[in-house]
Structure 1
Amino acid sequence: MSVQERKQRERAERERLIVDTARELAEQHGWDAVTTRRLAERIEYSQPVLYSHFRGKREIIGAVALDGATELAAELRAATAAAVETRARVTALARAYLDFAARTPHVYDAMFQLDGGLTFASDQSPEPLKDAFAALLETLAEVAGDGVEPGVFTEVFWAALHGLATLTRAGRLPPDAAEQRIQLLVDRLAVA
């Protein structure tokens, strides 16, 4: 291994450490607790080293969001792969999405609530964001219905899932009807 390859590997490892530590801090104490000073102390590097990887907290949030999008895409695909029938795949997708949002609330916030400097719904969107949307589209395109553009249908279904995730987390929806909401969403929107 050349010196340059070793330095690149070490840089990638430091970057991974920064992102993982930011995620851990956010999960333990919320995103307000994630500061460059605290991160530098936790990873035992100086703030200038941290800034050599990220321009600030916004980029760190973006990196956590991209990791989250990669994880979400994998979880959605795993959940839908196990189901044979179309309706069961859509139900599994909805459950997996809502489970991800509930299990990783601070990652979910980085993805959809906080400004991580990411571009959505564009050719310039980072690949992990495109792939997470593709993971939704792969299943939902099957149930978009005649005359409905599958991408638009996927956006509407995703928006409904996001609304359920956000309102449930905020305590605005009683938890005892969670499964009923999923079934209603699938029954009313996934008609094909």
Structure 2
Amino acid sequence: MSVRERKERERAERERLIVATARELAEQQGWDAVTTRRLAERIEYSQPVLYSHFRGKREIIGAVALQGAAELAADIRAATAAADGPRARVTALARAYLGFAAGHPAVYDAMFQLDGGLAFAREDTPEPLKDAFAALQETLRESAGAGVDPGLFTELFWAALHGLATLTRAGRLPPEDTERRTALLVDRLAVL
């Protein structure tokens, strides 16, 4: 291994450590607790080292969001692959999405609530975000119904899931009714 390759590997490892530490701190104490000073202390590097990887907290949030999008896509694909039949696949997708949002609230916030400097629904949208949408659309395409644009249907279904996730987490919807809401969403929106 050349010196250049070793330095690149070390740099990538530091970057992964920064993102993992930011994510861990955010999940434990919220995003307000994530500062470059606290991250530098936790990872035992100086603040200038952090700034050599990320220009600030916004870029760190963006990196966590991209990581989360990749995980969400994988969760959705795993859940839908294990389901038998179109209705079961859509239900599995909804459960996986809502489960991810509930299980990783700080990551979910980084993806959809906070400004990580990421573009959505544009040409310059980062690939992990496009892939997360594609994971939704792969299953929802067959549920859109005749004459309905699958992309628009996916956006609508995603918006409904996001609303359920956000309102449940905020205490506006009782969590004990999540399964009933999921069934109603699938019954009313998905043409199966």
TM-score normalised per structure 1: 0.99
Deviation at 1:102, TM superposition (A): 0.2
Amino acid at match of 2:110: A
Residue in 1 aligned with 2:183? 183
CA-based RMSD = 0.5
Check if 1:117 corresponds to 2:117. yes
- Write out aligned runs for 1:129-148 (5 A): 129-148=129-148
Deviation at 1:82, TM superposition (A): 0.4
Question: Distance in 2 between the 1:27 and 1:174 partners?
Answer: 22
Residue in 1 aligned with 2:18? 18
Question: Distance in 1 between the 2:156 and 2:122 partners?
Answer: 17
Per-residue CA deviations over 1:74-94 (Å, capped at 9, x if unaligned) read 000000000120000000000
Residue in 2 aligned with 1:98? 98
Question: Distance in 2 between the 1:124 and 1:147 partners?
Answer: 29
Per-residue CA deviations over 1:96-134 (Å, capped at 9, x if unaligned) read 000000000000000000000000011100000000000
Deviation at 1:61, TM superposition (A): 0.1
Question: Distance in 2 between the 1:145 and 1:32 partners?
Answer: 43
Deviation at 1:60, TM superposition (A): 0.1
Q: Which runs of 4+ in 1 moved over 2 A?
A: none
- Write out aligned runs for 1:11-160 (5 A): 11-160=11-160
- Write out aligned runs for 1:162-177 (5 A): 162-177=162-177
Unmatched segments (≥5 aa) in structure 2:
none
Per-residue CA deviations over 1:126-175 (Å, capped at 9, x if unaligned) read 00000000000000001001111000000000000000000000000112
Unmatched segments (≥5 aa) in structure 1:
none
Question: Distance in 2 between the 1:160 and 1:93 partners?
Answer: 13
Question: Distance in 1 between the 2:43 and 2:74 partners?
Answer: 28
Deviation at 1:191, TM superposition (A): 1.2
Question: Distance in 2 between the 1:58 and 1:185 partners?
Answer: 34
Question: Distance in 2 between the 1:145 and 1:103 partners?
Answer: 31
Amino acid at match of 2:152: V
Percent identity, aligned pairs only? 82
Deviation at 1:56, TM superposition (A): 0.0
Question: Distance in 1 between the 2:175 and 2:152 partners?
Answer: 29
Question: Distance in 2 between the 1:97 and 1:117 partners?
Answer: 23
TM-score normalised per structure 2: 0.99
Per-residue CA deviations over 1:25-79 (Å, capped at 9, x if unaligned) read 0011100000000000111010001000000000000000000000000000000
